[in-house]
Amino acid sequence: MATKHSRSAARLMMAPAVILLLGWMLVPLTMTLYFSFKRYLPLRGDSLENGLQWVGLENYARFIGSSAFWPSVQATLVIVGGVLLITVVFGIFLAILLDQPFWGQGIVRLLVIAPFFVMPTVSALVWKNMFMDPVNGILAHLWRFFGAEPVSWLSDASVQSIILIVSWQWLPFATLILLTAIQSLDSEQLEAAEMDGAPPVKRFWFIILPHLSRAITIVVLIQTIFLLSIFAEIFVTTGGAFGTRTLTYLIFQRVVDSQNIGLGSAGGVYAIILANIVAIFLMRIVGSNLDR
């Protein structure tokens, strides 16, 4: 891509893709923005044909003013943060374990990756009915076996339960990325550190962890993008009750349950702003990490 000629050719070739992507992104975005300034209640007879009433910033004020808003932002951040923490920590741990040579390595690696292929709805249902059911769930049996009172997970520890379910889904992704990163570490570096007198814990801290820092930032970045919009897991388990109503879920309720498209769109715009704030933060970190 050195010459002027090849650069302009490249631009020309990329144009269709860029235009398609731009349209893909811009059309819904403009529509969301448009609706967010309108009163649009389909059940009350509002429709695009009749023209929608301009209400200015009223939807924005109402969305943010509702008592559900701040708790939903908090729930979103707690869930995203919790899942990130669990997947990164356990991902590193699993990656190190899987990197060791052991019998049946291939099968174990496959098993570790398996949860990633299960659809969110299915995995949430499996967790809800097979594990967390307070009467028939495996966990309830386990609790009773030890003579304890079964926990009704999804109501008493609802946020933790959601974090657990989502972490279970995303752990394979983190593990996989971190495993490839660990495998790319030059073993001579570890041997050099060993000769330099670093015991295993220090080798992890001074050599392996810095080597993984890029992979970790990538895991965090990609997961955050997807985790901000988790929906199915909440929909099929708690239905947004017990403090698990995230921003995404709140918007869904405004649009579908209360059939208020204008209000939901305003919420959507807030979600975009939140995502961008997080993205800028992450880009800063990633940027300084990837520069090296």
Q: Which residues bind other proteins (CB under 8 A)?
A: 186, 188-189, 191-199, 202, 206-207, 210-211, 213, 292
* Distance of alpha carbon 33 from alpha carbon 27, whole angstroms: 10
Q: Which is nearer to other proteins, 104 or 197 (CB)?
A: 197
Work out how close the CB of 196 gets to other proteins at its nearest, in angstroms, rounded to a whole number. 4
Distance CA 74, CA 81 (A): 10
The whole-angstrom separation of Cα 140 and Cα 147 is: 10
Q: Which of 164, 86, 88 is nearest to 124 (CA)?
A: 164
Closer to other proteins at the Cβ: 217 or 253?
217
> What distance in Å separates the CA atoms of residue 249 and residue 55, rounded to the nearest whole number?
24
Output the smallest distance, CB 100 to other proteins, in A: 17
CB of 191 to other proteins, least distance (A): 5
Residue 198 or 275 with smaller CB distance to other proteins: 198
CB nearer other proteins, residue 74 or residue 213 = 213
Q: Which is nearer to other proteins, 95 or 193 (CB)?
A: 193
Min CB(184)–other proteins separation in Å: 12
Shortest Å, Cβ 174 to other proteins = 21
Q: How far is the CB of 291 from other proteins (least distance, A)?
A: 11
Cα–Cα dist 244/271, whole Å = 16
For other proteins, the closer CB: 21 or 192 = 192
Residue closer to other proteins, measured from CB, 24 or 206: 206
Find the shortest distance in angstroms from Cβ 289 to other proteins: 10
